[in-house]
Amino acid sequence: MAESELLEMSLEACVALLRASVVGRLCFVANDWPVAIPVNFRLVETSGRRWLAVRTRPGNLVDQAPVKVAFEVDDVDPAHRSGWSVLVCGTLHRVDADAAAFRERFDPDPWILAERESWLVVEPAVITGRELRGAEPEWPFVSEAYL
């Protein structure tokens, strides 16, 4: 088999994957332990700046997250042993959803709507990504074709 490759992704590729994704994990330290909470989000791009917008329940763990956070989206293809991951490190801000028509323009459209009235944005300091390209077999054999 040819070797697998782990490649750094360009900022443009990372941003394109953030645009196309709707679920990611907000990562931070809570009670002295690292946590990664899945959330719906939307990439907000305006005036040359980017933010990740999130809605959550007031008072829950996400709403109480500290200022320094990481945000991660990824996708994996186990059959081809390939995938990608984008990591955003940044600052978490609370937002007034009614200011500057934020609610209408940037709703992350959470899958659970009940009580999602706390609006947050992650302002990126660094956006990085990596892609794993799986090795190509020397001869085409797909085990699923025989099952």
Domain boundaries defined on the chain: 5-133
**Digit-coded pLDDT (tens) for 79-92:** 888 899 999 999 99
Identify which of 53, 87, 54, 83 has the alpha carbon closest to the alpha carbon of residue 73: 87
**Digit-coded pLDDT (tens) for 38-79:** 998 999 898 889 999 998 888 889 989 999 999 999 999 988
On the question of pLDDT at 145 being above 70, the answer is: no
- Which stretches does DSSP call E strand in 1-147? 5-8, 23-30, 33-40, 42-46, 49-56, 68-77, 82-95, 118-133
Report the CATH fold assignment for 5-133: Pnp Oxidase; Chain A (2.30.110)
On the question of pLDDT at 4 being above 70, the answer is: yes
**DSSP readout, 62-94?**
TTT--SEEEEEEEEEEGGGTEEEEEEEEEEEEE
On the question of pLDDT at 13 being above 80, the answer is: yes
Q: What is the mean pLDDT of residues 89-111?
A: 75
**Digit-coded pLDDT (tens) for 23-35:** 999 999 999 999 9
Q: Please name every residue paired with 46 in a beta bridge, in sequence order, or none if there are none.
A: 49
